[in-house]
Structure 1
Amino acid sequence: MKKHSRKQNRWFLFAVICAALILVVSCNLTQTEEAPRATLSGPPTSADSVDVTDPLQEGARRAEAARAQWTDRLPALRGSLAEPVAAPQVVEVPEQTTVDQVVIQFAADATAEQRNEYIASIGGQVSEQIDALNTVIVEVPATNIDQPLPENPIVEQSEPDYFITALEAAAISVPSSDPRYAEQWSLEVIGAPEAWSELPADAAT
């Protein structure tokens, strides 16, 4: 009877110890699981508010960065385009010539001897020769510069040696109704302000 009682006590003690161990392990596991939850449930920070793994947010962030990079380069361009544009103009001045010179184009079949005879007849001296065009530039006395050259079958055409000069035009300042006009550099390239200056005052630009 005593042996049976001792055996029961041992099994009871073993069961109590196992139950205690299970309880301790269970408590430890519960605390381990609750710790990360407490960390995640804390107050949100600026880093937590942006989900960098979201493709849409990441794409928007990159687009904004690229836009900011190019926007930083625009102030200098805006400043240069916003100023009035001075457009050079080429104006032909026929009443002015170079110093006592005429341009003579000979016929293709004119010989060198015929050319020299004609140039000598007008009292001229060749200063430049353009073989590809059968043309010579001839210096002549000032008294002959305003007189028509003698007609000759070997001469196709002749004229005083006119020149053209670039005159500085007044600055063109045309207000534009486009608030982003300064960013549109192509308008300056195609000469839009000069075209606008020809429009009526009430026309939209």
Structure 2
Amino acid sequence: MKISKVHYEGVVVVVEIEEKEIVIKAIDENVNQIHELIQQKIQIWLDYVLFSGLWWLGIGLSIVPWIIWFIVRDKKSSDRLLYAGVTVMVISVMLDVLGDQLGFWHYRFSVIPILPTYVPWDICLMPVAIIILLQIKPRFSPVIKAISFALITSYLAEPFFEWIQIYQTLKWKYSYSVPIQIGIYLFAHYISRRKQFPKLSNS
């Protein structure tokens, strides 16, 4: 290992040059491999997924839920509900990417091939289902709503998507999703009840 000493503001800094170069080379090679796999994934998507029946299903699931919400939404609370909905989107996407990268599950027939998530679920079905539940009987117990939502998504929605072969669990069980879905719903409920929304001003 080649080691050099660099003087910086009177402090001797030991730079392990050779080891650093090895790490850089390993990282760059890994990035290149990932890039090649992404290109391969895009080509598979173009050849077999784009315009397939399950791709069109994904497009429909990306549009229809928002149309339904637009029709049934509480107009006076639209901004507040959207605020909660966007929060759900962010959490859902982050958890989905994490689960995919850790090998807990993966998706096939993606609407967008370069994203390791299922857009219709994270950006549409999850947030819309939650914000509709939030506006239905808003004084009803949020805990009961959260549990009901978690049971439906974990034991009905997830198995359905796995049955039609869009979603594939690897190191995951449906029951693991229940507490996560409960937490997401309760956090969305908390966000939807916030009142610190003063108007923007120049001060």
Q: TM-score range by the shorter chain?
A: under 0.3
Report the structure, 1 or 2, having the larger strand content.
Answer: 1
Normalising by structure 1, report the TM-score.
Answer: 0.18
**Which structure would you say has the larger RCO, counting Cα contacts within 8 Å and 6 or more residues apart?**
1
Question: Which of the two has higher C-alpha Rg?
Answer: 1
For normalisation by structure 2, the TM-score amounts to: 0.18
